[in-house]
Amino acid sequence: MAPFLSKRDLNFQLFEVLSSADLPTRARFAGQSRADYEDILGLAYTVAERHFLPHAREADLNEPHVEGGKVRLVPGAQQAVKAFREAGFLSAHHDEELGGLQLPWVIMQAVMAHFQAANISTSGYPFLTIGNANLQREFASAEQQQKYMLPMLEGRWFGTMALSEPQAGSGLADITTSATPLGDGTYSVRGSKMWISGGEHELSENIVHLVLARVKGAPAGVKGISLFIVPRYRVNPDGSPGESNNVVLAGLNHKMGYRGTTNTLLNFGEGGDSIGELVGEAGRGLAYMFHMMNEARIGVGMGAVMLGYAGYLASLEYARERRQGRPATDRNPESQPVPIIGHADVRRLLLRQKTFVEGGLALGLYASSLVDDLTTGPEDRRSDTGLLLDLLTPIVKSWPSKYSQEALSDAIQVLGGAGYTRDYPVEQLYRDNRLNPIHEGTEGIQGNDLLGRKLTQAGGRGLEVLLGQIQADLAASEGLEGVSEIRAALTTALAQNGKAIHTILSKAPELGPDLFLANANSALEMLGHTVIGWMWLRQANAAVRALTNARASDTDFYRGKLHAARFFAVYELPKVKAHADLLAAADRTTFDMQEEWF
């Protein structure tokens, strides 16, 4: 069976492309070492392989279902989250005084990557819990943290994010769930929440829902939205879970993939009060959620990367073993068929996958390293770091979601008919990943966010910072052998980006906001491919440097990196131009299309 993750590449990304080994020079990580990081990654591999991977297919074939009034999952899920908890991963990035290891976020993300690759569905339960706890850490009161967050760090309670409603998915401004003050500082929360992952299960003693709702009388739109903690079971004075809080499971959603993660419609306040506590200030609910959005969106992007990566590794193994056909030069029908990796078109499918998933991994970890820099990097650069991360986030979320899907389609194609069956993992990975361009903000939302907000935020400073970083890496690569194609293609793409962005921004006033945004998707595609091209330049730079003194056993790995960079330069970066042209032209085609013409 193919490995589900490449340890070699993860090490390369963390310690050769990024400088994660230097993190212990920062106060928060003092005393840690690269060896510590490698140990914890090794532990993650073991736990993922032993406890998450084995029931990945079983969880797909046996969706969560209600039995005796309880949501039932496959038994492996319970054992897996237990192993995850016991390994300490739920609190590993938290303060030592909370039982954590103060692990850098980039290492934490690399830890989590193992579980996403092995079994994205089961990993959903602890990961939602981690995200929920991170939000509480930032915005909940000390009392709330004590009451709700600590049991989550210990893995006794799990968490969800309850934003969407049946009538309000992408349009959160229109949520109608209400919160009525009960007079004792708590609220009665009432309404329906849709698409709530991990919304009900028996994996934990309690479930802590973070719920967006409107306090009675609050204004319409986003300004009237507040954030509440609403537990499944009310909390006894001793901190133990008590009676039901009237959060009722109204239905399970039946999905194409990601089937092991129960996804629910929940009715709050059905048959009695669902008592909730306000987090922070009223009216700031969406702002709190969005503060955590960079992290959540990096998480989705990384999940997509790891699904694509698992598919790449599976198809690579298959291509090395499956014999079929001969080179065109071999006319002897009695010769043995060659492994299909011997065919250039199969290598094309593998190279495409390699550039998509390794490029995506580089970006996901780079963005995670920026999350660390925001709090532990040089103080005078934190503001720029924040703007850069804001700018990159829509790309980190959407690019791997889209291109891992293409990679997984290629993986299926390498396996042919076999890839279309449940005898191999790739068809499931393909179904699982198709969720990623939808949740945590659709591709349309990401495009609007990039062009309508992030490119102009702070006078365009985010883009300036990005271009500065890319130029620095271009400068560092000058004269290096084997990077000329990626250097040249990236330089061309940068010029196309610059011209297109300058043009569309200068036309913005005359276009008006709707026409201005009509080609936002092209902005996302254009800058997305360019940023991944940059990630390939960074990897190529690291590979060239390493090749000089590489052990023989490492040489192939680095040559593969250089050749993949060349592939991305030659096959992918030329696609930037068509998007740049559309954007610069402020093309009216989608804007002008009339509903009745369809």
**Smallest separation (angstroms) from a copy of itself to the CB of 65:** 14
* Catalytic residue positions, numbered: 440
Beta bridge partners of 244: 233
Contacts to a copy of itself from residues 491-530, by CB under 8 A: 512-518, 520-521
Output the DSSP codes for 194-241: EEEET-S-SSSSEEEEEEEEEETTPPSSGGGEEEEEEESEEEPTTSSE
CA distances (Å), origin 359, targets 2, 253, 475: 21, 33, 20
Select from 26-34, 35-43, 71-79, 571-579 the region that touches a copy of itself (CB under 8 A): 571-579
Residue 456 interacting with a copy of itself (CB under 8 A)? no
CB of 179 closer than 8 Å to CB of 228? yes
182 vs 578 by CB, closer to a copy of itself: 578
**At its nearest, how many Å lie between a copy of itself and the CB of residue 111?**
25
Of residues 75, 221, 239, 468, which one binds a copy of itself by CB under 8 A? Answer: 221
Say how far apart CA 459 and CA 382 lie, in whole Å.
17
Contact region with a copy of itself (CB under 8 A), list: 142-150, 281-289, 386-394, 584-592: 584-592
In angstroms, give the least distance from the CB of 48 to a copy of itself.
22
Choice between 178 and 204, CB closer to a copy of itself: 178
Residue 597 has φ and ψ, to the nearest 5°, of -80, -15
Which is closer to a copy of itself, CB of 261 or CB of 369?
Answer: 261
User: Which tokens hold the place of 598?
Assistant: 């369809």
Q: Is 128 in the site for a copy of itself (CB under 8 A)?
A: no
Q: What is the C-alpha end-to-end distance of the chain, expressed in Å? A: 48
CB of 448 to a copy of itself, least distance (A): 7
CA neighbours within 13 Å on the CB side: how many for 226?
25
Q: What distance in Å separates the CA atoms of residue 8 and residue 14, rounded to the nearest whole number?
A: 10
116 binds a copy of itself (CB under 8 A): no
Pick 328 or 475: Cβ nearer a copy of itself: 328
Q: Are the C-beta atoms of 329 and 501 separated by less than 8 Å?
A: no
Q: For the beta carbon of residue 409, count every other beta carbon within 10 angstroms.
A: 17
Q: Does 347 bind a copy of itself (CB under 8 A)?
A: yes
Residue with tokens 């934990």: 204
Instruction: Give, as ranges, the residues between 183 and 202 that touch a copy of itself (CB under 8 A).
Output: 194-195
Quick one: CA dihedral 372, 373, 375, 376, positive or negative? positive
Closest to a copy of itself by CB, 79 or 176: 176
Which stretch in 32-40, 170-178, 370-378, 392-400 sits in contact with a copy of itself by CB under 8 A?
A: 170-178
Residues near 329 by beta carbon (within 8 Å), at least 6 away in sequence: none
Token match 């300490």: residue?
88
Amino acid at 246: N
The residues in 393-422 that bind a copy of itself, with binding defined as CB under 8 A, are 405, 409, 412-413, 416-417, 419-422
The residue from 41, 111, 350, 489 that contacts a copy of itself (CB under 8 A) is 350
Please tell me whether residue 283 binds a copy of itself under the rule CB under 8 A. Answer: no
Q: Which stretch binds a copy of itself (CB under 8 A): 39-47, 144-152, 375-383, 433-441?
A: 433-441
